[in-house]
Structures are given as C-alpha cells and as structure tokens.
Structure 1
Amino acid sequence: MTYIEAIITVLGIFGLAALVVGAWKVFSDWLIYKAFKGLDQAQKEQRLQEQNSVLQLLSERYRSKTRNRPHSKKRGQN
C-alpha cells in the first residue's frame, strides 16, 4: 500500500466517522423534538429543569475530578 492509498483510507475512515456522528446528532435532536412535541409549556419547563440539573451535576463531577489531578512539573523545577 502506498502512502497515497494509506492517506485516502484514513480520510475515508474519518469521513465515515463524521457521518455517523452527524447522523447520531440528527437522530438525538429528532428524539428530543418528539419528546417535547406534545407537552404544554409547564411540562416543557419542568423537563428542561430536570435536564439542566443533570447536566449541572455531571459538569460538577467532571470539574471535581479534573481539578484534583496533580500537574506534572517540568524537570529541574521545584
């Protein structure tokens, strides 16, 4: 396999991965649309509050995990 064939293969794999990610995004947006379609305004606001609280909890957990990681120092520095 030449370098050109290898590059084309890698680009093709990344292209297929991008298509899969895009299709998943469209599908998830469609599911959210279907979930919110039949709800009245109060139910929509309640559902949004629930989703926001879950996202906030996840982001706080992620921040607490990344905040407590020790940073590596460069050699020769104390």
Structure 2
Amino acid sequence: MNNHSRSQSLDASTLVSLLNELAVLSEAAKNVREKLLKIIPVQYGSDLWWEKSDKEAMEEIKAGRGISFNNIKELKQYLGA
C-alpha cells in the first residue's frame, strides 16, 4: 500500500445505511462468538476460559441456582469447615 490518502463524500442516507449494516454484522459476529464459546474447549485459565466461566456462572445465578451467605460463619458451615 502507498501512503496516499483518499477521501470520498457520502450522503447521509448512505452513511446511515452503512452504519446499520455494521451494527447488524457486529451483532452477528457476537452471536457466532458466543456459540463458539459454548462448543469449543478453551484453555484452562485463559482469558476466554474466564469469560466463558463467568458467563456460565451468571446464567446459573440468574436461574436461581446460586448460593448466598450472610456471613463467614454460614459459609464455613456450608463447606463443613
């Protein structure tokens, strides 16, 4: 590539159309990424592993399968310590 810059004018409707297409593509890429995270194993401890683990944990909590403790004593009792 050369270092020459090129400029082109766009009318407002074309710009809006391009931005809308970009938003659609961005959402599609996000959906593909989420599906891949569900089916492809990720390396333990990697950033993707943490992302996947956090997402799964939040889904469990939202589904009411989380446990909460009011204090450390309750936690210790739960753990049998």
Q: TM-score, normalised by structure 1?
A: 0.41
User: Which protein is richer in helix relative to its size?
Assistant: 1
Over alpha carbons, which structure has the higher Rg? 2
